[in-house]
Structure 1
C-alpha cells in the first residue's frame, strides 16, 4: 500500500490521481488506478441527501471509512475530518483524528483551513497523524465565504497563498486547492514543498481529485464547471430502470432463465430419475 512518503516524493513528477470513495465496491474499482482515495465528507450530500457537508458526523465518516478500507489494497486512504470535529482546539482535533485512524485504518486525515489551522496541523503531525490540508474554497466554511464562489481572485490571492504556505510549513503532506484561478494554482504549486491536489484549480497542480459520483455522471442536475463527465451513468441507469419496469408490468421478467423448476424425481438409490 502506498505511504505518505510515496505521495510526497511525487512532487513535481507524475501527477497524482485521486478520487473519492464511500463504499467497498467503489473502493475496489478505483484502487488500482488511484494514488489517493479520499473518504470525503461530500458523502453527506452524495449518499445521504444532505444540503451541505455541515451535517456530516464523525460516526458517518468512520462508517464509510471502514467500508472503503475493506476495498483497498494499494491506494493511500485519507479520511475527511467533519465540521466541528477539529476546530475547537488542537487537543480536540487530535482525539478525533486518532479515533478516525484507529477505527478506519486510514493512513491520514484531511482538514480544511489555512493560517488559522496551522497550529492544529503542527500539533497533529508532531504526534504521528499525517494531515492533508485544504484551502481555497472550503465547503465547510461556505457560510463565511459567502457561498461556493471562486476564491483567490485579485487581492484575495494573497490570502490563499498565505494559507497554503502556512499549512505546508506546519507539516501538511499535501494540499488540496479548490476552485481557485489557474494562475494562482500554478504559483502555489511552484512555491510550496507539498504536492498540490487540484479540484477546480489547474493541470499545473501536482495531482487532481474529483468526487467520483460527479465524474461518472450519477447526478444529472449537478454539473459544476470544474467537473468533466467521463460517463453519464444516471442516464444509463434511468434507461435500465425503465426497461425493468416495463418488463415487470408486461410479465416478461422474470423469464425462463430466472426461475427455478421443481426438483427432479429421484430413483430408489437417491439418484435423479
Structure 2
C-alpha cells in the first residue's frame, strides 16, 4: 500500500505522481483497482456533486461524509481530504476539530489552501502527527477575492511571491503542494525550488505530478470543458445513450426479457 512518505521518494526518483479527485464509494472502488497513486476528496464536491457555484459551500461534515465513502471504496489508496472554506480560520481548536473529523473519516492527510495566516496552524497540525498538503495559485476558496476563477502569478512580482509562499509551506512541514492555474514556467521554478513534490492542475508538465477531477477526465459534464482537463472518455454521452436504450426497451416491453426475472410462482413448503 502506498503512503505519504512515498511522495518524497517519488519526487527524488523523478517518478511522476498521479492523483484524481473523487467523492463516492462506487467510483473509488474502480480507482482502487487502477494505477492511480492517490485520491483527493476535494471541496469541489460542493460544485460537482451538490451543484453549488463555488467551493465555499462545502462544510466539514460534507467533506467527512465523502471522505468516509471514498475510504470504503478505496482502502488501498492514499487519501487527502480538503479543509473546507474558513474551517481553518476560526481558531486552532475549531481547525483541529475539523482535522480530527476528516482523519477519523479515513483521510491520510489534509489539504489547506493559501499560505498567508496559515503557517502556525500548519506547523501545529504537522506536529500533531497529521500530514498537510499545501495549495497555491488559484485557490478556489478565494474565488470572491480573485473576482472569479482566473490564472494567478502572471506578473514577475506575483510569481516571486508565490515561490516564497511555497518555500514557507515546505518549511512549515507540508509534504507536498498543489499548484493550480499558474504559468508553466512559474510552476517549473516552484518545483525546482522545493524538496517536496508539486502537484499541478492547469500549470503545465514541469511539476512532480498531476491532479484532475475524475468526473472531468471521464467527460461526465458536457457543459464543463476547461482547457486543462483532458477528457479520456465521454461518459455523459455513453450514460445518456444507455439510459435512452433502457427507456426504449421498457416502453417496448423488451425489458425484462426471459431469464431476467422468475416466471414461476415458488410455492411455500407445506
Instruction: Give 1:178 shift.
Output: 0.3
- State the 1:189 CA deviation: 0.3
4+ residue stretches of structure 1 with deviation over 6 A?
none
**2:247 maps to which of 218, 235, 245:** 245
- Deviation of 1:264 (Å): 6.9
1:113-192 equivalences under 5 Å are 113-155=114-156, 156-192=158-194
1:32-111 residue pairs with structure 2 within 5 A?
32-102=34-104, 104-111=105-112
Distance 1:166 1:91 in 2: 23
Q: Kindly state the Cα deviation for residue 265 of structure 1 after the two structures are TM-superposed.
A: 7.9
Please give the secondary structure, in 2, of the residue aligned with 1:99: helix
Distance 1:130 1:91 in 2: 18
What secondary structure, in the 3-state scheme, does the structure 2 residue paired with 1:197 have?
strand
Deviation for aligned residue 1:162: 2.0
Deviation at 1:122? 1.1
CA distance in structure 2 between the partners assigned to 1:146 and 1:158 by the alignment:
22
C-alpha distance in structure 2 between counterparts of 1:76 and 1:63, whole Å: 17
Q: Give 3-state SS (helix, strand or coil) of 1:256's partner.
A: coil
In structure 2, the CA distance between the partners of 1:265 and 1:212, relative to structure 1 (3 Å rule), is closer
Q: For the residues of structure 1 that align with 2:101 and 2:62, how far apart are their CA atoms?
A: 13
| Contact 1:115/1:167, CA 8 A, preserved across alignment | no
Does 1:4 find its partner at 2:4? yes
Question: Following the alignment from structure 1 to structure 2, what is the Cα–Cα distance between the partners of residues 205 and 90?
Answer: 32
Tell me, yes or no, if the aligned pair for 1:17 and 1:208 is still in contact at 8 Å.
Answer: yes
User: How far apart are the structure 1 equivalents of 2:193 and 2:31?
Assistant: 30
Residues 49-58 or 175-184, more deviating? 49-58
- CA displacement, residues 230-260 of structure 1 (integer Å, 9 cap, x when unaligned): 0000011111111122222222222223222
Q: Separation in 1 of the partners of 2:95 and 2:110?
A: 10
Q: Over aligned residues, Cα RMSD in angstroms?
A: 1.6
CA distance in 2, matches of 1:246, 1:27: 31
